[in-house]
Amino acid sequence: MNGIRLCILATLVAFFSFPSVAQDAKLVRRGAVDYYEFPFGSVQRSAIWQTSEIGVCWENPLPQHAPLRAQVRSAVEETWERSSKLRFKGWARCTAGELGIHIRVSDENPHVEVLGRYLDGRPDGMVLNFTFATWSPVCQSQVEFCNRAIAVHEFGHAIGFAHEQNREDAPPECRADSQSTTGDWNVTEYDLYSVMNYCNPSWNGDGKLSPRDITTVQVLYGKP
């Protein structure tokens, strides 16, 4: 089973991507001293939502995908919601001008367009794959596992989490997988077992939050 998951990891690592957000402070290592450099534009850009109730809607829900949509909702409830004050509301078909996270289902690499609150009201802000026909066909034999693990990872981005392996203090072999943005706030120490870490020995942490994922989401959004 682990072999299959590693294989899936190797396949998926190359495809997960999302656009970057600017990083305000940069950790620099110089000799034995680490320090933070601050470029002095005065606005700190934060992707953290200012509310714990976040709307979710589906752009193109098909009847035959109802069980898969339920899996996504369930996976999010069992992880991010259970560990924090976050509550995801709605989950119906998107209406014109609706706020919240807009999910489009498409047979392509799952991703978010941007991190966190910048998804609010953004059409096709998150893309999930329910068929795996062309992207990662290996998931066809374990759709529910892939669907849940991907949902947890993408909803991590949707609440502002960046890829853990991008961090300055990640091992070089993991940083080689750096994708898109690097977070501007390292809430905990580096977490190999984060659902946001491509280097996690279990692909997407098997869709289960690590203790440090839980600490982080509670720092950002409060304990349940």
Partner 1 sequence: MGSRNALACALIAVVASAALAAERGESIFSRNQPATLCIEVTGLLYNGKEEIAGRGSAFFLNDQRSALTDSHILPDANLYKSIRISGKVRSDDDKPDLTVILTLKSKDATRDLALLEADAPIPSQYVVQGDSRKVKPGAELVVIGCPLSFGPTMTTGHVGNVKDDPLGRWIVDAPINPGNSGGPVLTADGELIGIAWGGVRKTAEGVPIYGLNFVIPIHQAIDGLLREQSVKIFKGPSLLASSAGVQLARAASSPPLTMGRPSSARAGRLAIGSAAIASVPLAVERLGVPAGRGGGSLPGGIEELARPPIASPPAPSGLPPPSNRIARAFEVRELKEDHPSMLPSSEIRTLTFAADPGFKFTEFKFDELSRNHGSPPQIVMSADGREIAVSFSLTSGPMFDRYRGWLTGTLLTRQVRQ
Of 8-16, 36-44, 85-93, 199-207, the segment contacting partner 1 by CB under 8 A is: 36-44
Q: Tell me whether residue 183 or residue 207 sits nearer to partner 1 (CB atom).
A: 183
Does 35 sit near partner 1 (CB under 8 A)? yes
Per DSSP, the three-state class of 202 is: coil
Does 36 sit near partner 1 (CB under 8 A)? yes
Question: In the range 51-110, which residues lie near partner 1 by CB under 8 A?
Answer: 97, 99
Residues 6+ apart with CB under 8 A from 145: 139, 206, 207
Q: Tell me whether residue 25 or residue 143 sits nearer to partner 1 (CB atom).
A: 25
Min separation Cβ 66 and partner 1, Å: 27
Residues 6+ apart with CB under 8 A from 78: none
Question: What tokens were used for 128?
Answer: 């999930």
Q: Tell me whether residue 180 or residue 200 sits nearer to partner 1 (CB atom).
A: 180
* CA pair distance 157, 113, nearest whole angstrom: 10
> Among 9, 11, 13, 20, which residue interacts with partner 1 (rule: CB under 8 A)?
20
Helix axes 66-76, 143-158, angle to 10 degrees: 50
Q: Return the closest-CA partner of residue 192 out of 167, 220, 155.
A: 167
Per DSSP, the three-state class of 30 is: strand
Question: What tokens were used for 54?
Answer: 């976040």
Does 187 sit near partner 1 (CB under 8 A)? no
Question: In the range 118-137, which residues lie near partner 1 by CB under 8 A?
Answer: 118-123, 125
Q: Which residue has the tokens 């409060």?
A: 222
Q: Tell me whether residue 26 or residue 223 sits nearer to partner 1 (CB atom).
A: 26
Q: Return the closest-CA partner of residue 126 out of 164, 152, 146.
A: 152
Q: Tell me whether residue 112 or residue 209 sits nearer to partner 1 (CB atom).
A: 112
> Among 1, 2, 39, 172, which residue interacts with partner 1 (rule: CB under 8 A)?
39
Contact residues toward partner 1 (CB under 8 A) are 19-22, 27, 33-43, 45, 97, 99, 113-114, 117-123, 125
